[in-house]
Every structure is written in structure tokens, then in C-alpha cells.
């Protein structure tokens, strides 16, 4: 198994740098269930951020990309159940939902934030109402 960095994953999905996109495509085609690529939750969060803020992908587009990655037998996603719950959540931001789901998986009863949008997610509260 090999770990895959965010920029490789983004190039594979976006194909905006031809040489890097081709190298990423070749890498992904060479992966298998016997020799998979590993995607950490940190990489997943960075990918979500890059696709949303840099490439202006919509929340549904990003959700479909994450869901497709979870289904790929040649990829191992760290804590896929956390990623799946984050995609299924009503959060505007999948990265925020991943943060909340990691907390829940580790026994946290709620997540505190100053982010008004994030605080709309069930189980997330704004700290001090500020």
C-alpha cells in the first residue's frame, strides 16, 4: 500500500496540469485491491477544500467524488465510515462534517465552533454565541 498526497488526488480528478494529471492517471490505473493506494482523512479534507474553494466544485460534485473513492477497490480510505457519514450529512462543508464525525467516533458529545454555517449541523454548537 502507498499513501497518496492531496495534490496527486486533485490532479487525477481535475486534470488541470496535463503532465501531472497523466502521471496520476497512470498511478491510479496501476493500483489494485492487492496493492492499493491509501487516502488519509487529512488528505480527504484537503481535497474537499481544494475542490470547493480553488476549483469551485459544488457540494454535490464533491460528495460524488468522495463516494466514488469510497467504492474504489484500489483505494483504502482511512475510516471510510467517517467519510461516508460526512458525505451523507447535511453540512455545507464535507471537511467540517469530517471534523465532527471524527469527534463523534472518539466519544465526543458535540463539536464547538465559531463558524455559523458549521453550527447548523446537528451536534455542532457555536461557542459562546459569538
- 41-61: per-residue pLDDT in tens? 999 999 999 999 999 999 999
Number of domains in the chain: 2
Q: Is residue 114 a contact partner of residue 72, using CB atoms and an 8 Å limit?
A: no
Both 44 and 65 in a single domain? yes
Nearest residue to 6 (alpha-carbon basis) of 33, 35, 41: 41
Both 95 and 45 in a single domain? no
Check residue 128 and give its pLDDT.
81
Task: Let me know if 93 is exposed, middle or buried by CB neighbors in 10 A (0-12, 13-18, 19+).
Answer: buried
Residue 83 lies in a domain: no
Spatial neighbors of 16 by CB under 8 A, at least 6 apart, are 55
Confidence check: pLDDT of 6 > 90:
yes
Report phi then psi at 38, rounded to 5: -110, 130
Both 74 and 96 in a single domain? no
Residue 84 lies in a domain: no
Check residue 129 and give its pLDDT.
62
Both 60 and 106 in a single domain? no
What is the mean predicted confidence (pLDDT) over 86-97? 89
Both 95 and 51 in a single domain? no
**Could you list the residue range(s) of the whole structural domain that residue 130 is in?**
90-130
Nearest residue to 34 (alpha-carbon basis) of 79, 73, 80, 78: 73
Both 65 and 96 in a single domain? no
Residue 85 lies in a domain: no
Residue 70 lies in a domain: yes
Whole-angstrom distance, CA of residue 113 vs CA of residue 10: 28
Both 14 and 47 in a single domain? yes
Both 60 and 7 in a single domain? yes
Check residue 130 and give its pLDDT.
58
Instruction: With cut-offs at 50, 70 and 90, classify the pLDDT of residue 91.
Output: confident
Both 61 and 103 in a single domain? no
Both 16 and 40 in a single domain? yes
Q: Is residue 114 a contact partner of residue 74, using CB atoms and an 8 Å limit?
A: no
Q: Which helix (H) or strand (E) holds 27?
A: helix 18-30
Instruction: With cut-offs at 50, 70 and 90, classify the pLDDT of residue 101.
Output: very high
Both 122 and 102 in a single domain? yes
Amino acid at each position: 500500500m502507498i499513501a497518496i498526497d492531496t495534490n496527486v488526488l486533485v490532479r487525477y480528478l481535475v486534470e488541470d496540469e496535463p503532465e501531472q494529471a497523466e502521471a496520476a492517471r497512470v498511478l491510479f490505473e496501476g493500483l489494485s485491491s492487492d496493492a492499493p493506494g491509501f487516502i488519509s482523512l487529512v488528505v480527504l479534507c484537503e481535497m474537499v477544500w481544494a475542490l470547493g474553494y480553488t476549483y469551485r466544485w459544488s457540494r454535490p460534485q464533491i460528495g460524488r467524488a468522495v463516494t466514488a473513492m469510497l467504492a474504489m477497490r484500489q483505494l483504502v480510505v482511512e475510516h471510510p465510515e467517517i467519510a461516508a457519514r460526512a458525505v451523507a450529512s447535511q453540512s455545507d462543508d464535507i471537511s467540517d462534517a469530517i471534523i465532527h464525525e471524527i469527534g463523534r467516533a472518539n466519544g465526543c458529545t458535540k463539536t464547538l465552533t465559531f463558524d455559523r454555517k458549521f453550527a447548523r449541523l446537528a451536534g455542532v454548537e457555536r461557542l459562546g454565541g459569538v
